[in-house]
Amino acid sequence: MLILQKFSFFILLIHIINVFSNKKSIVFQESLDDDAYYDGDQQEPVHVNLLQTIDCSNQCPPYWTEPILQQKQTLVYPTSAFVSLKCPYNAKPKAKITWFKDEQIFSPELFELFSIDDMYLNISKITMYETGMYTCTIENSLGKISRSFQLVVQGRSLDRPVFISKPTNLTRYEGDNVTFECLFYSDSSPFIQWFVQRKSIKNIYRNEQYNELEFLKEYNPHTMSEDEVKLLTIKRLQRNDTGVYLCRVLNEYGFNDLIHHLTVLPDYERPLLLQNISPNKRHYISNRLSDELMILIGCIIGILLFAFIFFLIYHFRNEKSLQQTLLATRILATRGISNLKNNQLYRSDIDPKTKKHLMEDNCHHCPAEGTISTIISSYYDDQCEFSRENLAVGHLIGKGAFGLVYQGVAKGINSKEKVTTVAIKTVRDDATPEEVENLLKELSVMKMVGKHINIISFLGCCTKGGQVMLIVEYAKYGNLRDYLRRKRPPAHALSGLYESPSDTDNNEQETIINDDDYVRSLTTIDLILFCLQVASGMEYLHSKKCIHRDLAARNVLLAENRICKIADFGFARDLTQTYYYRKQTDGRVPVKWMSPEALFDRKFSIKSDVWSYSVLAWEIMTYGGTPYPSIAAENMFDYLRDGNRMSQPINCPNEIFQMIESCWTFKESLRPTFTQICGSLRHYLYGSSPIDYSDLDYVDFPPISSPSMSDFASTTILPLSTSGIASDSNSHSHITTTATSSSSLS
């Protein structure tokens, strides 16, 4: 009794000391469910799971490794915030963690905004649709624990739409119905469109650009509800419904694409389901199928036997004629290129009967007599010819629809160096005479153009004794478009303007190059200097009365010290006799880079190159963006005629974009010259903030040491204003999507 009185007195003394010191106290009391503590300023108990001391050296049930203030915790976040929900635990054997949302099993890895990192559930850029109850359950064979988070999101989400639906890859049969879903989150008013790109079954799984999109339907509040357009139903499928179906959802902050793949197989390939058929009928169907199969096999064997007999009769009847064809083909293929005597074929090697036979058979797959050799001889120049013995062809560095580019080494091609690294351009093994002639035309244009720091230099060629090879200077960093994309800052990587490097159009040149230029990232000044260098090269090219016709970032190479080199002159034309060139033949053309008069009238001039240059400048200022990404090639002329143009890139100065807009004037006579463009760019660089350009002396403009207006005395400066821009460029639109255009002319 005395001991109990002393203990009570001791407790009372501690309480009096705490009251007088005015400090908060925590008093632990027993609870049937959890331990709890009282805050001195609170009336209600706050439950807490105290850390447990558990020996987990062998086995133990799951337990929390950090204090858990509440079993159900309420969290309030603004929209677009980053949220991390943590369930810190330990267990042995290893426990399985399962996440629930609103009491339903939740798979975060299936959603774009969610990710799991061990015991964390991370949500990036939350929206109001992420509001809900999230529960983590940790369980092993010895026990289970759980905790919950009531997540409340306040405010509107300032982000592009986020998809709930996932991409699908479906296989259906002719006559079936199919429905695609396009469910999404968007706080701002959405605009929904459906497109299809019809493709053959053999090509449907290739990783290609979606550049032939066919519009299906879009959200129209007057004719349908928003829920209706979220579903795309196709009834009574046909084989040509095979393809890629794209749902595009746009709001004021951007857009997102959801891709569905569909393969439609013939109805006769549909598997026969027998599980609901009685055994007797199954036996009957099985026997009937066996009989039909035997009949089908017999018919096939009969047809093959008849075809074989017919082939034997035809073969022996025309044996002599076939031998003559093979002889003529052998002579033309082997001697038509290599056995040249004074640049002419030994025509006497082909007897008159064989010649007549070839003409009657109209052998399109064999080279016409003397065609390739005659083409080569007409372009032959002994002064440019380089010995094949001194040329070593290395690895492939680029390829396109019309040729291949290899890195190589040339001995003695440059008088200053014993051995020079070069680029070697040639045609494919199965090249047509027209493709060989295009390469020779490019050779001829490069010889005529001569030397300039911003034009790829022609070093020599090999036209005798083998495949035609064009030898030019080697550009270390490959083409400018791919270089810009490799140097793109993260902010641009999120934009819909850009396509994945793996999705490059197969018709465009693919550059295989390693970029070891890690000195620094690109600045706006660097981009403007790229524009200036290309304009300087085009100014020189036009002074030689030559138009390029295919000016784009993919056709500009980047050499040491980031020097731009205009390349790919295969479609350039000489304007010595006239001021414009009218294209006479059909073929693939770079629609997105072409001026209206080139699109509609096939009329190419210096001013059409100016238009193409402005699209290239837009590519540069967007770090390799895709021009007019949502506009189909066949709609480009109407789109431009209606006054639509691309919008100003984020980091593009107003003065530079005004210069670009002046090149987009519909009337060609109102567009500036390259001399004016160079003057405007130089004027902008000299008038910018005080930056040291002394290390940029490779650019073709006066030194920065003494900038004055006298430096520009010989250059007309284009006023950087929109006053000279025609009314057809007042309206601009820019819808971001993924599409590319062909880049080849014939």
Tens of pLDDT, residues 90-99:
998 889 999 8
The amino acid sitting at 159 is D
Number of helices (H), then strands (E), in the chain? 15, 34
Q: Name the residue with tokens 């499928």.
A: 237
pLDDT-derived band at 329, boundaries 50, 70, 90:
very low
Output the pTM of the full model: 0.45
* The pLDDT value given to residue 135: 93
Between CA 717 and CA 613 the distance in angstroms is 17
Q: Name the residue with tokens 């501690």.
A: 14
Residue 187 has pLDDT above 90, yes or no: no
Between CA 622 and CA 492 the distance in angstroms is 8
* The pLDDT value given to residue 287: 59
Average pLDDT rounded to a whole number, residues 101-125: 80
* The pLDDT value given to residue 154: 77
Cα–Cα nearest to 537, from 612, 451, 472, 466: 451
Which of 426-430, 497-501, 515-519, 703-707 is most confident?
A: 426-430
Which of 5-14, 183-192, 491-500 is most confident?
A: 183-192
Among the listed residues 159, 482, 550, 568, the single catalytic one is 550
Average of per-residue pLDDT values in the chain: 72
* The pLDDT value given to residue 283: 52
Q: Which domains does the chain have, with CATH numbers?
A: 60-154 (2.60.40.10), 162-281 (2.60.40.10), 381-474 (3.30.200.20), 479-492+520-686 (1.10.510.10)
Between CA 345 and CA 370 the distance in angstroms is 6
pLDDT-derived band at 137, boundaries 50, 70, 90:
very high
Residue 316 has pLDDT above 60, yes or no: yes
Between CA 195 and CA 212 the distance in angstroms is 10
β-bridge pairing 104-106 and 60-64? unpaired
Residue 342 has pLDDT above 70, yes or no: no
* The pLDDT value given to residue 32: 30
Residue 434 has pLDDT above 50, yes or no: yes
* The pLDDT value given to residue 387: 87
* The pLDDT value given to residue 719: 35
Between CA 385 and CA 305 the distance in angstroms is 57
Tens of pLDDT, residues 245-265:
999 998 888 888 899 999 999
CB atoms within 10 A of CB 492: 19
Name the least confident of 25-29, 314-318, 531-535: 25-29
What's the full length of the chain, in residues? 746
Q: What is the DSSP string of 65-87?
A: SS-BS-SEEEEEEETT--EEEE-
Residue 119 has pLDDT above 60, yes or no: yes
Between CA 297 and CA 696 the distance in angstroms is 76
* The pLDDT value given to residue 279: 54
Contacts of 192 (CB under 8 A, 6+ apart): 182, 218, 219, 226, 229, 230, 247, 248, 249, 250
Tens of pLDDT, residues 379-418:
666 778 888 888 898 899 887 666 889 999 998 888 766 8
Rounded to whole angstroms, the maximal C-alpha distance in the chain is 139
Cα 90 to Cα 33, 54, 115, 141, 244, distances in angstroms: 21, 10, 21, 13, 47
573 close to 547: Cβ distance less than 8 angstroms: yes
Question: Which structure tokens are listed for 590?
Answer: 């770079």
**Is-catalytic flag, 39?**
no
Cα(first)–Cα(last) distance of the chain, in Å?
112
Tens of pLDDT, residues 495-525:
445 444 433 444 444 454 445 555 568 899 9
Rounded to 10 degrees, what is the CA torsion of 576, 579, 585, 591? 130
At residue 196, φ and ψ (nearest 5 deg) are -140, 140
Q: What is the C-alpha radius of gyration for the chain, rounded to an integer number of angstroms?
A: 37
575 close to 546: Cβ distance less than 8 angstroms: yes
By three-state DSSP, how is residue 198 classified? strand
**Residue 126: how many CA atoms within 13 Å on its side-chain side?**
23
Average pLDDT rounded to a whole number, residues 574-602: 65
Contacts of 598 (CB under 8 A, 6+ apart): 583, 604, 608, 611
* The pLDDT value given to residue 587: 52
Average pLDDT rounded to a whole number, residues 72-92: 87
Give the H/E segment covering residue 296: helix 279-317
Contacts of 354 (CB under 8 A, 6+ apart): 324, 325, 327, 328
